[in-house]
Amino acid sequence: MAAKNAYVKQIKGVTFIGKTDSNHWVTMDGPEQFGGSDAGTRPKELILLALAGCTGSDVAVILGKKKIKLDGFEMNISADTQETHPQVFTKIHLEYVFYGKDVPKDAVERAIELSQKTYCSVTAMLQKSVEITHSYRIEGTR
C-alpha cells in the first residue's frame, strides 16, 4: 500500500497553505466575513477541481494512446449541495467538451467510460457518497 502525506499550515484566520508529496503549495481560503482573506480556492471547490483533473487526465491519456487528435479539451463541472450543514455535495455533473475535426464519438465515449468506471480514483471515492453524472460534446475546430 502506497502512503500519501499532506501538510497544511494556518496563515491567518481561515487562510491555509498546504502541500502534498509532490511538494507544490496550494492556498486555501474563505471569505472575509468568515475570517479569511479571500485569497485562495475554497477547500470544497478543490474537490471539484480534483475530480475534473483526475478524469480529464485519464481521458486525455486514453485518447492520446488511440492517436485521437484534439484541438482542445475542456470540462465544465456543476454541483449541487444540501441546504443544511454540513453542506455536502449531493450531485456533481461533469461535461466534457472536445474540440477537433472528425473526433470519433465512440473513442470519446469509451475513454470517458474507462475513466469513470476503472481509472479515476477521485470518482471512485466520491461516488460512494454523491451522485456523479456526465455528458460530453464534440465541437468543431477552434
The pLDDT averaged over each successive group of 10 residues in the chain (142 residues) is 93 96 96 93 97 98 97 98 96 98 97 98 97 96 74
Domain count for the chain: 2
Question: Under a CB-based contact definition with an 8 Å cutoff, are residues 136 and 112 in contact?
Answer: yes
Q: Range of 88's domain?
A: 43-139
- By the 8 A CB rule, do 107 and 63 touch? yes
Q: Are residues 26 and 89 in the same domain?
A: no
Residues 36 and 54 in one domain: no
The answer on 109 and 60 residing in a single domain is: yes
Strand pairing class (25-28; 15-20): antiparallel
Tell me the pTM.
0.92
Q: How far apart are CA 122 and CA 94, in angstroms?
A: 13
